[in-house]
Every structure is written in C-alpha cells, then in structure tokens.
Amino acid sequence: MVEEYRNLLPTYIRNLEKQQLNLIASNDLDSIISCALWEEKYNFRIKHFFDFRNLWTCKDFKDDPEDRFGVDLSLTEGKCISNHVTQISYMDEIVNEQDVNMNNIEWKEGRIIHGSGICYFGKYNLNTILLSMSVLDVPLPKDDESKSIILAIDSAFQAFYSKHPNDVRAIYRYLKILGFEELIDFMKQKDEQYFKNITEKYGLKSKIFIKNGKLTSSKNLTGLRNKLKLSMGIDIKLPQQEFEVTQHFGVQAVEIPRNIFLTKQEPIDRGVKLYSLAITGRYYMKTSYYI
C-alpha cells in the first residue's frame, strides 16, 4: 500500500503484534480467505461467525467485544476490515473509525464516497482479500491461476471489464494504491469469461453457514484449499469447534431516498442500534440491528 494511505489506517493496525484479536468471519469466501491471511500473519483465530441474523461464538468461549476483529464485515462499532461503502449521503459522517476501509480512508482525504450520488461509482470495487494482503504486506502469488482466484473472489475482476468508465477508473486507481498494479496488465491478457470459469472450477461463490453447530460450506473447498496452501501458504480449513448463538439481530434492506442529506439512522426504524451496515448498491443499504 502506498505510504500516504497506509498512514491513514486506524492506529491500532500499526501495533497488532502486541494484540490478540478474535476474528469474526462472515458468510462467504472473501471473509474466510481474508481470515486465513490474518491468522497466518498474527495467529488470530476465527472465534465468531456472523450470518447477519445471528452472531455465533465457539461454545464456552468468552471474550471482550474490544478484542474482536470483523473480517469482510462493516461493523458500526469496533475493529473490522471491509470493502463496503458505509456513508449514506454527503452529510453523513464516518461512524466507525476502526473500520479498515478504503472508502472511509478516502473520506479522510476529502473524497466523499456515499450511497446516494454518482460518486458511489468511484468506490473501492475490489475485495477484502486484496485489501488485507496490502495491509499485511502479503505479495501476490506467482502463478496465474492463484492470481485469478484472488481476483475472482467477490467478482473483484468485474469492474475492469465494465462498460462504465467510472468503474474502470476506480479499479485502476485502487490497484495502484494497494501496490498491486501488476494485476492491471494481468487482466488485460484475460477476459471476463476466463474469470467466470475460474469461479466455477473452484466454487468461489460458495456460501459459509452453520449446520448442526459447525461451520460448513455450500461446496467442496478441497481443491481451493490445496491450491492456496501451496501458492500462498495459507489454510482456509474451517474451524472444527461447535458454535452457539450469542446474539440475535434484526435485518433491514431498505432504499435510500434520493437527493436528501441523511445520516445512517434515518432510512431505517428509529430507536434501534445498528450492529453492521453496508451500502449494497446506489440507493440501497442493508443493516443488522440489535433486538
């Protein structure tokens, strides 16, 4: 990551060697592979799982929320790393200063990215894996197929082949900021169908969920696990411990009213406290809230 942006990361990121954080995984491979990167670097382990309606915790495990790190998860409070837009309108303020999030960092630079304007299309349009690799100084894998896997997760490649100039400009911009500019030339040699084939071959759209108290995947991940273990030295094996629900949440997916200055609370029911929030499209947001 270029130094200018690294200096804008939350301060706790610079001192992780002295911390023991417990990972909160979410329900896709962008989260699970990112968790493996953080585990390899700092030995942080998945102790919690968030499916947007429930927070699951390893049975009999207790910790302080301040010692948790949400991965590919935009918490409204607490440490996390994510790739989502979390600002609703120009007047909305960044609530969670502990979210390692390129869109929030841009806000510090005076470049406001929010969910109710054309600037939405200038958002960080890559995945949490590439952001984690940049923060952790993990180099790109050397072989083409592993690079392709990283780009195919959460369809990070898609903006490169978009017909919309803003999408293309954004992916060029962020690959340079992350220090992965070589992927620009790499994607020039491929096409969209190539990445779709990689997605199908390795089951990259797999969903992660709890079944009989255990984390499981909707598809067999053995091939992907072996590939990433060999090329990147990370292990995406899911924890074998039993999980139990420790917190229930309500979920709302709502439309953001157009051309109105809003804050996070305004498009949803008053009187609830948000746990997570992500702008899922221009004028749309999804939240989990305490009940």
Owning domain of residue 18: 3-134+207-243
Tokens of 258: 């157009």
Residue 169 parent element (H or E): helix 165-178
C-alpha to C-alpha distance for 92 and 269, rounded to whole angstroms: 17
26 in any annotated domain: yes
How many distinct structural domains can be found in the chain? 1
Q: Is residue 251 situated within a structural domain?
A: no
Which of 4, 223, 39, 56 lies closest to 132, judged by CA? 39
> Is residue 280 a part of any domain in this protein?
no
Collapsed DSSP state (helix, strand, coil) of residue 128: helix
- Residue 176 domain flag: no
Task: Tell whether 269 is covered by a domain.
Answer: no
Q: Which two tokens stand for residue 109?
A: 């630079």
* Mean pLDDT for the stretch of residues 221-244: 97
Q: Mind listing the pLDDT tens digit for each residue in 130-176?
A: 999 999 999 999 999 999 999 999 999 999 999 999 999 999 999 99
Whether 248 is covered by a domain: the verdict is no
- pLDDT at residue number 254: 87
pTM of the model: 0.96
In angstroms, the CA 283 to CA 88 distance is: 8
Angle, helix 192-202 to helix 144-152, in steps of 10 degrees: 90
Cα angle 99, 157, 70; round to 5: 20
In a domain, 213, yes or no: yes
Give me the residue label for tokens 């990259």.
204
The answer to whether residue 130 is domain-embedded is: yes
